[in-house]
Amino acid sequence: MGKVYIVGAGPGDPELLTVRAVKILKEADVVLYDRLINEDILSLTRPGCLHIYVGKEDGKHTIPQEEINRLLLYYASLYEKVVRLKGGDPFIFGRGGEEVLFLADQGVPFEVVPGISSFYSVPAYAGIPLTLRGVSSSFAVVTGHEATGKEKKVNWEAFRGVDTLVVLMGVRNRQRIAGDLIKAGRDPDEPVAFVERGTTEDQRTVITTLREVAENPPEVKPPAVMVVGRVVEVHGRVKEFLENLKVLEGTGHAGG
Ligand SMILES: C[S@@+](CC[C@H](N)C(=O)[O-])C[C@H]1O[C@@H](n2cnc3c(N)ncnc32)[C@H](O)[C@@H]1O
């Protein structure tokens, strides 16, 4: 029986892979990867390494989780190093928890390699800090993918007192989420940022308010991170600086 590595690929920019992730990818026999994985990251593998797409469309699961688990078991019985490569961090809304429970139950050796999560790195590339002295001393990360089946329903009221709220998978339900947050007592004039395809060359940032999102939601395409809170105002103040940096250094990222 081989070993399964549950590896976080980071938010998109290949330079945000960890050193450990690069090392494991270079030695992999098989990589089972998700939808948001950058081609440049897959190209780090050695010739002959199998690349198997097990991605999920937004909300829908093209391959059921049980089938992905079965594939992990199958490839671990054939190969020494099986990599399960996931966007961001495997344990942040990535179903990595379910996969390690399954592997442990089946007695398959595994290792988890944490990745840089989109929830803070994507706002960071857009010049939005999640905490800021005097402005935000707390943040919460929540799914905007509404509870269906086994998922736990989000209690939006519980987030009334959190300074910065980060919503992942929230694009489709953005209008209802903004409405629920206003109903739960958040200020309708509170700024909101959507950062689309963060850390990639296609990064785009949309700045608006909770009221606007509830009444007349802006065009936003997934994947995007939604940030609600006063920290969003920092984006406008550092945007020009980030853009200059992009031009000067060719870093490939800016405030959108
Ligand atoms: C299923 S969750 C997985 C999160 C991932 N495990 C992480 O730690 O970043 C997918 C959601 O993460 C966010 N996301 C991931 N990569 C992103 C990116 N490059 N730009 C914007 N949002 C991203 C979006 O909200 C997307 O709907």
pLDDT tens, 160-174? 899 999 999 999 999
Tell me the residue ranges of DSSP E strands in 74-230: 81-86, 110-113, 139-143, 164-168, 191-196, 204-209, 224-228
Which residues constitute the domain of residue 110? 3-116
Asked whether the beta carbons of 128 and 256 are under 8 A apart, the reply is no
User: What's the total number of domains in the chain?
Assistant: 2
Q: Please state, in angstroms and rounded to a whole number, the distance separating the CA atoms of residues 240 and 228.
A: 21
DSSP symbols for 221-243: -SSEEEEESGGGHHHHHHHHHHH
Are β-strands 204-209 and 191-196 bridged in parallel, bridged antiparallel, or unpaired? Answer: antiparallel
Distances (CA, A) of 247 to 129, 231, 241, 251: 22, 25, 10, 8
**Within a domain: 254:** no
Whether residues 124 and 220 fall in one domain: yes
Per the annotation, the verdict on 56 as an active-site residue is yes
Of the residues 13, 29, 34, 89, which is catalytic?
34
d(CA 101, CA 161) in angstroms, rounded, equals 34
My answer on whether 127 and 112 are in the same domain is: no
Q: Are residues 112 and 131 in the same domain?
A: no
147 and 70 share one domain: no
* pLDDT band with cut points at 50, 70 and 90 for residue 254: very low
Contact 16, 124 (CB under 8 A): no
CA distances from 223 to 36, 203, 229 (A): 8, 10, 20
CB 233 within 8 A of CB 46: no
Using pLDDT thresholds of 50, 70 and 90, give the confidence band for residue 59.
low
Q: Is the CB of 12 under 6 A from ligand 1?
A: yes
Based on the fold, state whether residues 52 and 174 are members of the same structural domain. no
134 and 107 in a single domain? The answer is: no
- Average per-residue pLDDT for the chain: 92
**Ligand 1 geometric centre to CA of 25 (Å):** 21
Q: Is 36 in the pocket of ligand 1 (CB under 6 A)?
A: yes
Cβ atoms of 217 and 178 within 8 Å: the answer is: yes
Q: Is residue 255 part of a domain?
A: no
The reply to whether 160 and 197 lie within a common domain is yes
Q: Are residues 197 and 214 in the same domain?
A: yes
Q: Please indicate, yes or no, whether residues 49 and 108 belong to a single structural domain of this protein.
A: yes
Q: Which of 68, 93, 116 lies at the terminal end of a domain, its last residue?
A: 116
The verdict on residue 232 lying in a domain is yes
Residue 55 sits in a domain whose CATH number is 3.40.1010.10
- Specify the pLDDT at position 3: 98
In a domain, 256, yes or no: no
Q: What is the CATH number of the domain that holds 156?
A: 3.30.950.10
Residue 49 binned pLDDT confidence (cut-offs 50, 70, 90): very high
- At 230, the pLDDT band (50, 70, 90 cuts) reads very high
**Helical segments of 59-191, H only:** 65-78, 96-106, 118-125, 174-183
Helix (H, G, I), strand (E, B) or coil at 157: helix
Clarify whether residues 43 and 61 are in a common domain: yes
**Using one digit for the tens of pLDDT, what is the confidence trace for 108-121?**
999 999 999 999 99
Write down which residue in 84, 116, 148 finishes a domain. Answer: 116
- The answer as to whether 133 is a domain residue is yes
Mean pLDDT over residues 97-101, rounded? 96
Residue 245's pLDDT is: 75
Residue of 190 and 248 predicted with greater confidence: 190
Of the residues 96, 116, 136, which one is the last residue of a structural domain? 116
